[in-house]
Amino acid sequence: MGVACSGSKRNEQLLLHVDVYIWKEKEKKYHLYDYSSHESHYQQLQLIQDTKLCKYGENILAVQPNQTIEGAQELFVIKEKVLRPITEIWSIIRNDQVNGVPVTNRVQLIPGQTIRLGRVKIILWEACFNQAMATEESEKEKDEDANGLDDSENSNAENSCRICMSKVGTLSNPLINPCQCSGSVKYIHIKCLQQWIHNKFKIRELNNIVLYFWSNLICEICKEQYKLEYKFQNRKYHLIDIPRPKEAYFIFWISHIDKNKEKGLYVINLNGRSNIKIGRVQENDIKLQDISVSRNHALITFNREDESIYLEDLGSKFGTLLQIDQLKLDCKSIIQVANSVFIFDYLRKNQKHYELPSFYKVVEKETQQQPQDCVEDDVLVNVDNNKYLSGDNEAS
């Protein structure tokens, strides 16, 4: 996100100027940045080469990509003007400027992307505009089972489902080993496990919206957390199997930074809808009972003809954020990392560049650390959160 550099700068050796604004959170660190507050710690860096940025306390430090600082959190690597995350990084969606830098108020949303509203994370898990095609795929799976396409690898005398005791698996219902259990309880049919999980759901339904929510999905024997998706013979199997509407629909995965909170799915029938409102008050389609979410926080719009989906911010306190896996840096690029906002700009190389203070202990790494995929097993939001934010810190 940013504006193009002028042509006069393109042929010059440039200096990367970084402005950092760090908002000091109260109580627990939930990695929030209050865009309505003017109380933030400011820091600036001038960088001339590929670098890695780290956070040590409230200070942002730069080292070479193959180095690290003892006791510091590594944030991201910049190489050849491309920023790649080590921890989560977010593009900022706001209906106002951020520290004098224009940001977009509307972005296209792609299924699978992670949105963040305050402490809450939302993933557009599934978007179906053509229910006829989805029904066709479902019928195809049934035909495969009827034709006897079996899972011969797991269909032997030693492998049986811990629930139904059957030793036979099919491509649509294979025997899997989803946890650390061994022996006679090692394997389970994917559909037997789906049914067991479905029995743990709490279900609410209102205005063509069905909400499923639950606590942690763990094996009751070995206590390992179940994954949401398993692969077998190049096919994907979703652990959570819920009914789909007969019309067009969206499914949203709702989670929370605090892993002790509940998880959930919103299944929204799009019949008669032109948008989906998200916020804390009752009038919203997706109601998030978390004080860090603004009363009217964000809006999702969609076009049935070209199947496009867009995300907008409605002037929220903590912003609407969209997770990104890398960023091509240009003039006035801007991101949020935890409780910090970074603004990048390329300047002519006529200023003194950054040097790391000598009292930090730098450690050389044998191999350059590669940025990691920062997918967390997060959780939902249906609890009293008054202990976290109070008074003037409540999201409006």
Q: pLDDT by residue (tens digit) across 195-216?
A: 988 888 889 998 899 999 887 7
For position 154, what pLDDT does the model report?
45
Amino acid 319 reads: G
CA angle 273, 276, 281 (to 5 degrees): 125
Q: In whole angstroms, give the CA distance from residue 200 to residue 104.
A: 41
- Report for 41-55, 87-101, 299-313, 363-377: range of highest mean pLDDT: 299-313
Closest-CA residue to 39 (of 51, 55, 26): 26
- Phi, psi for residue 210 in degrees, rounded to 5: -115, 130
Does residue 139 surpass a pLDDT of 60?
Answer: no
For position 155, what pLDDT does the model report?
46
Q: Structural domain boundaries of the chain?
A: 7-104+320-393
For position 58, what pLDDT does the model report?
85
> 145: which strand partners?
none
Tally of CB atoms within 10 A around 43: 15
Cβ(151)–Cβ(171) under 8 Å?
yes
Exposed, middle or buried, 230 (CB in 10 Å: 0-12/13-18/19+)? Answer: middle
Average pLDDT value for residue range 66-80? 92
CA dihedral 1, 90, 60, 391 (to 10 degrees): 120
Give the contacts of 19 (CB within 8 A, at least 6 positions apart). 42, 43, 44, 99, 342, 343, 345
CA angle 88, 90, 94 (to 5 degrees): 155
> 76: which strand partners?
53, 85
Q: Which two tokens stand for residue 134?
A: 């989805």
Cβ(218)–Cβ(226) under 8 Å?
yes
275-279 and 286-287: which strand pairing? parallel
Average pLDDT value for residue range 117-136? 82
pLDDT above 70 as % of the chain: 77
> Mean pLDDT score of the chain, rounded to an integer?
81
For position 190, what pLDDT does the model report?
93
Does residue 135 surpass a pLDDT of 50?
Answer: yes
Does residue 140 surpass a pLDDT of 70?
Answer: no
Q: How confident is the model at residue 351 (pLDDT cuts 50, 70, 90)?
A: low
pLDDT tens, position by position, 324-335 = 999 998 878 999
For position 228, what pLDDT does the model report?
78
Q: How confident is the model at residue 50 (pLDDT cuts 50, 70, 90)?
A: confident
Closest-CA residue to 250 (of 272, 238, 267): 267
CA dihedral 64, 68, 74, 78 (to 10 degrees): 10
First to last CA, the chain: 26
Cβ(47)–Cβ(76) under 8 Å?
no
Q: How confident is the model at residue 29 (pLDDT cuts 50, 70, 90)?
A: confident
Average pLDDT value for residue range 74-85? 94
pLDDT tens, position by position, 354-371 = 666 655 667 777 654 454
Q: How confident is the model at residue 146 (pLDDT cuts 50, 70, 90)?
A: very low
pLDDT above 90 as % of the chain: 46
Q: In whole angstroms, give the CA distance from residue 347 to residue 18.
A: 10
Average pLDDT value for residue range 65-69? 90
Q: In whole angstroms, give the CA distance from residue 256 to residue 30.
A: 10
Q: In whole angstroms, give the CA distance from residue 394 to residue 25.
A: 13
Average pLDDT value for residue range 6-20? 67
Exposed, middle or buried, 113 (CB in 10 Å: 0-12/13-18/19+)? Answer: middle
Q: Name the residue with higher pLDDT: 256 or 389.
A: 256
Q: In whole angstroms, give the CA distance from residue 282 to residue 296.
A: 10
Cβ(94)–Cβ(35) under 8 Å?
yes
Q: How confident is the model at residue 393 (pLDDT cuts 50, 70, 90)?
A: low
Q: How confident is the model at residue 147 (pLDDT cuts 50, 70, 90)?
A: very low
Q: In whole angstroms, give the CA distance from residue 165 to residue 188.
A: 9
Q: Which two tokens stand for residue 245?
A: 């509407």
pLDDT tens, position by position, 162-202 = 999 998 888 889 999 999 999 989 999 999 999 988 888 88
Q: Which of 123-132, 187-196, 342-351 has the lowest mean pLDDT?
A: 342-351
Q: Which of 59-73, 74-88, 131-145 has the lowest mean pLDDT?
A: 131-145
Does residue 259 surpass a pLDDT of 50?
Answer: yes
Q: How confident is the model at residue 299 (pLDDT cuts 50, 70, 90)?
A: very high
